[in-house]
Structure 1
Amino acid sequence: MMDLKLYINGEWRSSRNKESADIINPATQEIVAKSPRGTKEDTEEAIKAAKEAFESGVWSGKTAQERAKYLFKIADKLDEKHNELVKLEVMDNGKTKAEASFDINDAATCFRYYAGLITKPDGETYDVPEPVQAMVVREPVGVAGLIVPWNFPMLMSVWKIAPALAAGNTIVFKPAEITPVTATKLFEIMEEAGIPKGVVNMVMGEGSVVGQTISESNDVDVVSFTGSTEIGRRVMRAAAGNMKKISLELGGKSPNIIFDDADFETAIDYGLFGIFFGAGQVCSAGSRIIVQEDIYDKYVERLVERAKNIKVGPGNQEGVEMGAIVSEKQLNRILKYIKIGKQEGATLALGGNRLTKNGMDKGYFIEPTIFTNVTSDMRIVQEEIFGPVVVIQKFKEEEEAIKLANDTDFGLAGAVFSQDGAKALRVIKKVRAGITWVNTYHPTFNEAPWGGYKQSGIGRSLGTYGLEDFQEVKQININLAVEPVGWFKN
């Protein structure tokens, strides 16, 4: 069993209250680690260390090329420890080995992307009236508070840490309470890479304590949060105290529109992948499939047939395609929504049960679940379930599909499947979402922005947009003729 520690000002330590939480393997319910319950005082100490490190210039004072060398080194170490990290991610979160392997690879790629990006030109000059030379430069914001969810423990951490460090900030990082293992390994790697003391700090603990302290602190200059819309609102309110910059990547209830001229098997395959990848515990999951009426029955029949054959089980087993739900709490939440769907009158076309056979009796497993005959006013259509549960809606014409797609408070992601290129582009442009696809689902890239419309958040991760979240823009005007302005005559 691992005994995890806080990491504050370059030191590994226990929390002040000496309390710890059990970290559970969701596939077996075995205790795999003890994680400290950080206190408000621990968090404030981490913030103080980050502020002092920032003001000292030990990191912000380095050139972009110098910071890039550290980030490249971290990426190399992630590659070196790939197999170990995959094993830990599967144990910590319940993912399959294939999912965890992709995440670790992409984490290394993300560090390399920002290491390269930060050395590229990012200033501007303006042709303004003489004798002034006007320019814009970008500077680090200061202390960055980073709060991540449990569904992508390593990858979500890196999506925030890499650009924050690339920009020259110092950080106070809070992993999800139930999945801190690979985040701890990442901080070990950053220590091995030689990141100076105080630049990176990690405090585990409850969001109501650690996350709240980070969000409220007047010494934190930017807070980046990924999680539920409900908690995002709390972060936003707390951050208003010192008007700190915020970036919020929140919930989703994303539409996957299937036209009758789509390549049928491709639309089926991505329908499955869109919702059952990661056991549906993905903010951008295609949890609402909207199918044109002429192929609706055929689509439902084929999707159910394929979903029956998804191999569910412990993520470390060969051939497993869908792993465990991350915790008992999340398992019960999903089962509650399945019960609500039945009560609302939806048709349960597949699944809906906890799995306990074939080695799954001690873990948190749910069957792939499909609801049909749903209406837009149902809770299972409107609310984020965050599990392997999909609802299938029917539409007649293009405008109805768009209306159904946008009939939600969320706007994170969406997709259109059609072999009519003009129609596909026309429809996807009308889908009110920040991440969209045509004839595919889920691929995303470090070079492109990630984030949503409406109650799915504020700001963007990844790409140049993700770097800008951790930068301030400064205008500089230089007088090239140093002489009195002569505005006042006497």
Structure 2
Amino acid sequence: MLIGGEWVEAAGGETFETIDPFKGEAWARLPRGRADDAERAVAAARAAMAGPWGRMSASERGLLMFRLADLIARDAEHLARVEVRDNGKLINEMRAQVRYLPQYFRYFGGLADKIEGAVLPIDKADTFNYTSHEPLGVCVAITAWNSPLLLAVNKLAPGLAAGNTFVLKPSEFTSASSLELGRLFEEAGFPPGVFNVVTGFGVEVGAPLVDHPHVAKVAFTGSEGGGQAINEKAARGLKHVTLELGGKSANIVFADADLDNAVKGAVSGIFAATGQTCVAGSRLLVQNSIYDAFVDRLVAFASTARIGDPQSETTQVGPVTTPPQYRKILDYIDIAKAEGAVCRLGGRPATGAECGRGQFVEPTIFTEVDNRMRIAQEEVFGPVLSCIRFEDDDEAVAIANDSLYGLAAGIWTRDLRRAIALPRRLQVGIVWVNMYRAVSYMSPFGGYKRSGLGRENGMDAVREYLQTKSVWVSTAAETPDPFSIR
């Protein structure tokens, strides 16, 4: 693990294995951190805040981030291959993600010395008042297993620009790439302790990090249950939190849409990344007048998806990353069938020779789904699509908003009025119109309701890592009545 600029074993000497989801075998051994390691990492991050990093100018911090961006760009292929080995997502997807990460550090590195306070025209005579924005301090980032580096950088880039230090606890299923990132932090010249990586399990090392009295903020991406537990723990210490949680996003297709593009958008929304993404368009709402024809077209297109080795350039659907998630997806397929949904495609494990010894689920499409069914209300996090009918705009909005979640939505239409009016009515943090599953370091990312708290990306993300100070300076020659508030 990387703690205080040194590569160390877990204090207790324990290790655990990480599994290649395609080959079904262990490929790396990692330190199994516990409370002692959490303590060491927080102490190192705290020392860095009080040391060289805390004394560094904002412009100097930005230059280090630019240097890190160049190193990530240099090693992008290696980092992408490590991610694929660890989480089983497609090489084309991981390569595109990692090659995009330098832009995060360049964008936020450029913002580092543009965080400005203000001079206020205060209503008190003989008084000068100004504000400044300062870092929170030691931040803990806890990431999910589906896109480890992207999820980490979503937190690190704005947080470092704001002047904070970090302890990163990646998912125990996918920790290898985070350790590789730590080596690049070292090479870029970040002071020891600015970025620390501890590996292990949530209860054993994640919980002590969240509980630590010297941690100012916890930024988490993961399940709703995990986010709720972290929020409750953080609240006891009055810590800042950013929670990027689950979704049950509605991808809405109107009769006037470009149907070829809408089919591609539906496939992108649910079968890309094997459906293992928080923004998955897992509820496909299709206007009743085109429902049957559209579903036929969708099933025909989705049935051509190529399943196989995620390291292959031609594979389109890879394995499920973890054994528990694989079992969960299959359980939900059984639940959908029991509820009366009609399985038009897939609905089974994929077991052909192209699947190796990995855990694959066939791309699955259910029709005649009612929005009250569990398959339409609960997050599956896999390649399972629920197709739901609607009549008009009002019913589409009502169905889309009838969810505990509110992360994202898609709208497919040629109607300009609808394209502008409907996003205002949808209770979600992200709306795509005639596109799906696009992200940018410049645009805020986050959800409503049970999809989380706070925002990542864009200027909104920097604000999540700052606190505001108000400074009052008297210019009066004589202090007025000390027994009365000024």
TM-score, scaled to structure 1: 0.96
Query: What's 1:252 paired with?
Result: 247
Query: What's 1:103 paired with?
Result: 97
Q: Which structure 1 segments of 5+ residues have no match? A: 1-5
Q: What RMSD over aligned residues (CA atoms) do the two structures have, in Å?
A: 1.3
Query: What's 1:9 paired with?
Result: 4
Determine helix, strand or coil for the equivalent of 2:139.
strand
1:86 maps to 2:60:
no
From 362, 377, 386, give the equivalent of 1:367.
362
Counting only pairs closer than 5 Å after superposition, residues 456-467 of structure 1 correspond to structure 2 as 456-467=451-462
From 421, 433, 452, give the equivalent of 2:416.
421
Query: What's 2:323 paired with?
Result: 328
Q: How far does the alpha carbon of each residue in 1:253-293 deviate from its partner, in whole angstroms, 9 at most, with x for none?
A: 00011111111111111011011111100001100010100
Q: Distance in 1 between matches of 2:6 and 2:323?
A: 33
Determine helix, strand or coil for the equivalent of 1:119.
helix
Q: Distance in 2 between matches of 1:271 and 1:135?
A: 50
1:191 maps to 2:189:
no
Q: How far does the alpha carbon of each residue in 1:143-175 deviate from its partner, in whole angstroms, 9 at most, with x for none?
A: 101101011111111111111111111111100
Q: Measure how far apart 1:219 and its partner are.
A: 0.8
Q: Percent identity?
A: 39
Contact 1:352 1:369 (8 Å CA) reproduced: yes
Q: Measure how far apart 1:352 and its partner are.
A: 1.3
Q: Which structure 2 segments of 5+ residues have no match? A: none
Query: What's 2:276 paired with?
Result: 281
Q: How far does the alpha carbon of each residue in 1:117-140 deviate from its partner, in whole angstroms, 9 at most, with x for none?
A: 112252222222332222221100
Q: Measure how far apart 1:482 and its partner are.
A: 4.5
The verdict on how the C-alpha distance between 1:42 and 1:484 changes in structure 2, with shifts beyond 3 A counting, is: same
Contact 2:66 2:105 (8 Å CA) reproduced: yes
From 106, 115, 122, give the equivalent of 1:112.
106
TM-score, scaled to structure 2: 0.97
Q: Measure how far apart 1:96 and its partner are.
A: 1.1
Query: What's 2:135 paired with?
Result: 140
Query: What's 1:341 paired with?
Result: 336
Q: Distance in 2 between matches of 1:39 and 1:215?
A: 13
Query: What's 1:3 paired with?
Result: none
**Off by >6 Å, runs of 4+ in structure 1:** none
Contact 1:107 1:159 (8 Å CA) reproduced: no
Q: How far does the alpha carbon of each residue in 1:322-381 deviate from its partner, in whole angstroms, 9 at most, with x for none?
A: 211112221111111111111111100101111121331301111111011111221110
Q: Measure how far apart 1:478 and its partner are.
A: 2.1
Q: Distance in 1 between matches of 2:15 and 2:373?
A: 40
From 220, 223, 226, give the equivalent of 2:221.
226
Q: How far does the alpha carbon of each residue in 1:439-488 deviate from its partner, in whole angstroms, 9 at most, with x for none?
A: 11111111111100000011011111111111111112222334312455
Determine helix, strand or coil for the equivalent of 1:16.
coil
Q: How far does the alpha carbon of each residue in 1:91-127 deviate from its partner, in whole angstroms, 9 at most, with x for none?
A: 1111111101111022111111110111225222222
Query: What's 2:57 paired with?
Result: 63
Query: What's 1:18 paired with?
Result: 13
Q: Distance in 2 between matches of 1:415 and 1:478?
A: 51
From 429, 433, 450, give the equivalent of 2:428.
433
Q: Distance in 1 between matches of 2:379 and 2:339?
A: 16
Contact 2:428 2:447 (8 Å CA) reproduced: yes
Contact 1:60 1:140 (8 Å CA) reproduced: no
Contact 2:309 2:356 (8 Å CA) reproduced: no
From 151, 168, 180, give the equivalent of 2:175.
180
From 255, 264, 281, give the equivalent of 1:269.
264
Determine helix, strand or coil for the equivalent of 2:444.
coil
Contact 1:451 1:457 (8 Å CA) reproduced: yes
1:207 maps to 2:202:
yes
Counting only pairs closer than 5 Å after superposition, residues 161-172 of structure 1 correspond to structure 2 as 161-172=156-167
- Paired residues, what number? 483
Q: Distance in 2 between matches of 1:298 and 1:197?
A: 60
Q: How far does the alpha carbon of each residue in 1:181-231 deviate from its partner, in whole angstroms, 9 at most, with x for none?
A: 111110010011111112211111111122211111111001111111101
Q: Distance in 2 between matches of 1:179 and 1:487?
A: 61
Q: Measure how far apart 1:241 and its partner are.
A: 2.1
Contact 2:441 2:457 (8 Å CA) reproduced: yes
Query: What's 1:241 paired with?
Result: 236
Q: Distance in 2 between matches of 1:292 and 1:128?
A: 56
Q: Which amino acid aligns with 1:378?
A: M
1:126 maps to 2:120:
yes
Contact 1:26 1:326 (8 Å CA) reproduced: yes
Query: What's 2:396 paired with?
Result: 401
Q: Which amino acid aligns with 2:68?
A: I
Q: Distance in 1 between matches of 2:410 and 2:200?
A: 36
